[in-house]
């Protein structure tokens, strides 16, 4: 997404329109009595100046949003401002009541375009991590406009006629129109959508407009207690909405896509917004009557008390938006609804019937209104952000219009319910209210329902807990035809574009995080069955690290996925260039047995964050983990995450499928086969292979500390770790001392019978167990060497005096056996290491910075860890991967997102100017080009 450089200026222009609309709506209501006198109309008649405006605005907001998404947000906003400005000017010049009502309808149409496109413009020019703040500032401006309208209206009516409340909009509107034309960049705000020529959905537009108008008129008639008319209008609205749904199903380009209501965030967000606005309007309608009739306050005094709500809202609105950019919006929404429920309930402390307005009673009013203002602020912008982020950017305007529509519907419902309960229409104009408490109870109960909706996970977010029955009794092996069909489903989902919006990706990542949190027990069990992993090792290496990767990706994804603007050479002016981050498509992840969950889930996190669909092939040597991964995949949308279990034949069948990316972790021999297949297909691949990782301990190292860390890093997961130190080179002066320290540490860590220790994992199978036992014959066992064949456990073993050309020094050990060799000259040792294959990791224990620098300069490896082991893999900002024969490619954190993302170069050149120097014939132009370009 292209981010406008003058985003704050754009926000100022947008909010100028919002401010004008909010002031206009408030100031007209204040001027209605004066209008009625001047035009010779009753209060019942003159209210249609306001009612027609409100109903038209609410009815056309969604339609205006759809138009903004279709014709471009800049065009929609300028059209709306033009209509609003022209209608305001005409309203100030007419003297006919019917014409005034008609012009207010046109003003409402302009307002609908301004409000619906305004939020969409904000989300277009601001980066996603600032959407909450920008939307919160907009809500504050709207509330300030409502408050300022009262004072400004009173001033205008005092010094001029009521016509000036409309005429004042004209010069302000002209300034805003000019500013919008200059400031708004269509490229940043969304250009008109390029579509095939197709019929406009006039039927859907008419039925939606008629249904909303009937609904709102029916609600207005409730205020006047006209039950018969209300029922007829309600029936008409139901009929029109039914016809609207039918029309939308048949329309090629529906005016309001019905699939929007299937998005949980939109459906629940709209319902909660209706309830929130209903409660606010119900209390706002009731409280002035109560303060004036029951407490005997003047209108001015009552208005001053109600300012507590607006004041707190204006202060807290931007703050809640800022917090929504950093925390989960759902939590802030719940907090806001809880505050609103509390604020409404505090009104129940007010005395029923006539009472004296003492300090205690007035304090209750101010406190209740302040808490309600805080609740409305905490709910508003987080709700708007969560709702708009649930769909792609091209639908933001229609969703914005939908949000404003629900706001107006909620306000109308709240006013109607309060009026019916209080019986205001038929009561004595000065009689105290008797049922104010009932309004407060009903509104608090409604908000409590909304709070329950916010706290309860939607049904779409199904249970994340996997029951033992779900895993079945064994691994499901697919035929080649079934594998091909599964891959086609994954590719179809990727090709549909559904996985591209960051909202979809983040939802998938949140689901994966919840699945892991809900099934940690099953993960512990699977790892214990496959490898006998101790719970501490299982948590650190297979659960915690994946959860941290998920949390980082959720926090940073919006920033990672944003289009990246790059410099364009001056001779291409006025072109613009940027890098667009796109998924590769469908990714195959081939998983080894040593970390069967982590090495499946970590690439999965990165691939999902990048917008890919993923097919995982677990190792057949870790069957319990494979079954669990199979069950996890079933909790996702079909095609998004798939697991194919089986052996070598299954892997070969998968490599023949038309994937877009291979990600392999395992041995070098199979890795070369994967790379050959990727080269034949012309697709990228990542190989995480491993190698013989050396560890150097010089004479300056603290031996006790080095021994603890070497023993921990080597024998973690019984040495079956690609990053583990494979062998140790120790300066001869420290050689014997280090062997003694390591032998002592092994005893401290694993006890007197370490091969039986519950803190030591088992060897994966009998073949690897037999291979490792062969290494024990190739040197002198300094410590350990005991084993349990039935349990496939080998005690941590230290080898010295290695025989020449021993296999233990040529092959990757991948087990709990550690050769320890002395060296005399570090330079000679480094020469030896340079001649050997490049390892995945290198370890150094020293207190000398010059030694550290020398080792870094004269060796190569995928990573280096100084004075520790394995921990470099726990730093999300560091890339994890090898080089040369230890692997190609990298992942973890941002590096994983980049690995699974195609950086697509984009240049857009202007059509308004063309440089003819590049076109033939060129002989005469070459001299000028060489002078110009150098």
Kindly state the tokens that stand for 628.
Answer: 């669990």
Q: Determine the 3-state secondary structure of 341 from DSSP.
A: helix
Q: Determine the 3-state secondary structure of 698 from DSSP.
A: coil
Are the C-beta atoms of 714 and 869 separated by less than 8 Å? yes
Kindly state the tokens that stand for 283.
Answer: 């209390």
**DSSP sequence for 597-627:** THHHHHHHHHHHHTT-EEEEE--TT-HHHHH
Q: What is the dihedral of CA 868, 872, 877, 878, to 10 degrees?
A: 120
Measured from the Cβ of residue 249, the count of other Cβ atoms closer than 10 Å reads: 10
Are the C-beta atoms of 650 and 641 separated by less than 8 Å? no
Are the C-beta atoms of 533 and 527 separated by less than 8 Å? yes
Strands (E), 810-927: 817-823, 841-845, 863-866, 887-888, 901-908
Query: CA-CA distance, 603 to 207, in Å (whole number)?
Result: 49
Rg (alpha carbons) of the chain, rounded to whole number: 35
DSSP state of 132: H
Report the helix count and the strand count for the chain, using DSSP H and E.
Answer: 33, 18
With both helix axes pointing from N to C terminus, report the angle between 396-422 and 202-223 in degrees, rounded to the nearest 10. Answer: 20
Phi-psi region of 739 (alpha: psi -120 to 50; beta: other; left: phi over 0): alpha
Which whole-number Å values give the CA distances from 819 to 8, 509, 775, 798, 799, in the listed order? 63, 42, 10, 6, 4
Catalytic residue among 339, 487, 722, 865: 722
Q: What is the three-state SS of 431-451?
A: CCCCCHHHHHHHHHHHHHHHH
Are the C-beta atoms of 774 and 807 separated by less than 8 Å? yes
Measured from the Cβ of residue 797, the count of other Cβ atoms closer than 10 Å reads: 26
Query: CA-CA distance, 792 to 183, in Å (whole number)?
Result: 72
Q: Which residue has the tokens 């249904």?
A: 211
Q: Is 722 a catalytic residue?
A: yes
Phi-psi region of 201 (alpha: psi -120 to 50; beta: other; left: phi over 0): beta
**DSSP sequence for 867-917:** SSSSGGGG-TTS-B---GGGEE--BSHHHHHHHTEEEEEEEE--SS---GG
Helix (H) or strand (E) holding 788: strand 787-788
Pairing status of strand 797-800 against strand 780-783: antiparallel
Are the C-beta atoms of 284 and 452 separated by less than 8 Å? no
Catalytic residue among 15, 248, 688, 778: 688
Query: CA-CA distance, 5 to 126, in Å (whole number)?
Result: 9
Kindly state the tokens that stand for 802.
Answer: 């290695």
Which whole-number Å values give the CA distances from 871 to 139, 358, 606, 729, 878, in the listed order? 46, 66, 20, 20, 11
Catalytic residues: 688, 722
């Amino acid at each position: 997404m292209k981010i406008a450089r003058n985003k704050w200026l754009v926000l100022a222009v947008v909010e100028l329109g919002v401010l004008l609309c909010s002031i206009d709506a408030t100031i007209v209501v204040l001027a209605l009595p004066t209008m009625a006198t001047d035009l010779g109309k009753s209060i019942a008649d003159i209210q249609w100046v306001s009612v027609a405006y409100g109903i038209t605005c609410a009815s056309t907001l969604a339609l205006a949003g759809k138009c903004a998404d279709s014709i471009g947000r800049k065009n929609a906003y300028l059209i709306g401002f033009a209509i609003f400005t022209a209608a305001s000017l005409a309203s100030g010049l007419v003297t006919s009541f019917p014409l005034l009502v008609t012009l207010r309808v046109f003003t409402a149409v302009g307002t609908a375009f301004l409000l619906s496109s305004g939020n969409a413009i904000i989300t277009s020019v601001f980066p996603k991590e600032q959407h909450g703040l920008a939307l919160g500032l907009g809500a504050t401006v709207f509330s300030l406009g409502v408050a300022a309208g009262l004072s400004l209206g009173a001033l205008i009516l005092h010094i001029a006629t009521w016509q000036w409340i409309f005429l004042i909009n004209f010069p302000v509107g002209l300034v805003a129109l000019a500013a919008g034309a200059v400031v708004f960049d269509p490229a940043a705000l969304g250009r008109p959508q390029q579509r095939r020529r197709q019929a406009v959905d006039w039927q859907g537009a008419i039925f939606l407009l008629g249904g909303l108008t009937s609904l709102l008129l029916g609600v207005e008639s409730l205020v006047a207690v006209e039950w018969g008319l209300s029922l007829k209008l309600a029936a008409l609205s139901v009929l029109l909405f039914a016809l609207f749904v039918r029309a939308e199903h048949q329309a090629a380009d529906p005016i309001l896509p019905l699939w929007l209501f299937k998005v949980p965030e939109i459906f629940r967000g709209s319902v909660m917004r209706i309830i929130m606005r209903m409660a606010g309007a119900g209390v706002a309608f009731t409280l002035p009557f109560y303060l004036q009739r029951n407490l005997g306050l003047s209108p001015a005094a009552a208005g001053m008390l109600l300012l507590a709500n607006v004041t707190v809202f204006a202060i807290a609105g931007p703050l809640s938006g800022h917090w929504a950019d950093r925390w989960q919006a759902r939590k802030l929404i719940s907090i806001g609804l809880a505050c609103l429920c509390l604020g409404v309930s505090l009104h129940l402390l007010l005395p029923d019937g006539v009472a004296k307005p003492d300090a205690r009673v007035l304090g209750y009013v101010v406190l209740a209104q302040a808490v309600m203002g805080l609740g409305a602020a905490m709910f508003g912008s987080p709700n708007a952000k969560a709702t708009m982020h649930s769909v792609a950017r091209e639908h933001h305007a229609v969703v914005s219009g939908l949000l404003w529509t629900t706001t107006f519907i909620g306000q109308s419902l709240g006013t109607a319910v309060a009026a019916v309960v209080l019986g205001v229409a038929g009561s004595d104009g000065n009689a105290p209210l008797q049922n104010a408490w009932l309004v407060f109870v009903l509104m608090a109960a409604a908000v409590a329902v909304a709070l329950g909706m916010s706290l309860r996970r939607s049904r779409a977010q199904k249970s994340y807990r996997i029951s033992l029955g779900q895993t079945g009794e064994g691994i499901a092996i697919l035929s080649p035809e079934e594998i091909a069909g599964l891959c086609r489903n994954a590719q179809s989902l990727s090709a549909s574009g559904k996985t591209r919006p960051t909202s979809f990706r983040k939802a998938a990542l949140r689901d994966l995080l919840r699945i892991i949190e809900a099934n940690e027990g099953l993960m512990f069990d699977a790892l214990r069955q496959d490898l006998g992993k101790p719970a501490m090792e299982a948590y650190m290496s297979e659960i915690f690290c994946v959860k941290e990767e998920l949390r980082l990706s959720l926090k940073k994804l919006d920033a990672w996925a944003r289009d990246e603007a790059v410099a364009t050479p001056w001779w291409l002016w006025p072109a613009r260039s940027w890098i667009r981050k796109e998924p590769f498509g469908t990714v195959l992840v081939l998983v080894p047995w040593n970390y069967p969950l982590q090495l499946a889930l970590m690439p999965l996190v990165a691939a999902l964050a990048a917008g890919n669909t993923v097919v995982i092939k677990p190792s057949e040597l870790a069957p319990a983990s494979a079954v669990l991964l199979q069950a996890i995949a079933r909790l996702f949308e079909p095609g998004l995450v798939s697991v194919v279990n089986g052996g070598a034949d299954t892997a070969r069948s998968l490599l023949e499928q038309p994937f877009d990316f291979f990600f392999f972790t395992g041995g070098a021999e199979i890795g070369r086969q994967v790379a050959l297949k990727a080269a034949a297909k012309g697709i990228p691949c990542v190989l995480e292979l491993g190698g013989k990782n050396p560890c150097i301990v010089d004479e300056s190292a603290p031996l006790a500390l080095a021994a603890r860390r070497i023993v921990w890093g080597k024998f973690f997961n019984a040495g079956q770790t690609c990053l583990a130190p494979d062998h140790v080179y120790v300066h001869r002066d420290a050689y014997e001392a280090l062997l003694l320290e390591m032998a002592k540490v092994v005893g401290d860590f694993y006890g007197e019978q370490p091969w039986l220790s519950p803190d030591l994992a088992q060897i994966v199978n009998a073949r690897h167990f037999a291979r490792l036992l062969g290494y024990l014959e190739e040197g002198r066992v300094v410590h350990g060497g005991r084993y349990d064949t039935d349990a496939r456990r080998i005690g941590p073993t230290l080898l010295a005096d290695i025989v020449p050309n021993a296999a233990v020094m040529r092959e990757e050990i991948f087990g709990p056996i550690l050769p320890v060799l002395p060296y005399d000259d570090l330079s000679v040792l480094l020469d030896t290491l340079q001649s050997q294959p490049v390892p995945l990791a290198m370890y150094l224990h020293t207190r000398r910075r010059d030694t550290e620098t020398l080792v870094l300069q004269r060796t190569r490896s995928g990573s280096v860890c100084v004075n520790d082991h394995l921990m470099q893999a726990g730093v999300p900002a560091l890339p994890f991967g090898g080089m040369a024969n230890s692997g190609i490619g990298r992942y973890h954190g941002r590096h994983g997102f980049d690995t699974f993302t195609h950086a697509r170069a984009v240049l857009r050149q202007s059509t308004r100017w063309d440089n003819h120097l590049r076109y033939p014939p060129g002989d005469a132009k070459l001299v000028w080009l060489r002078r110009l370009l150098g």
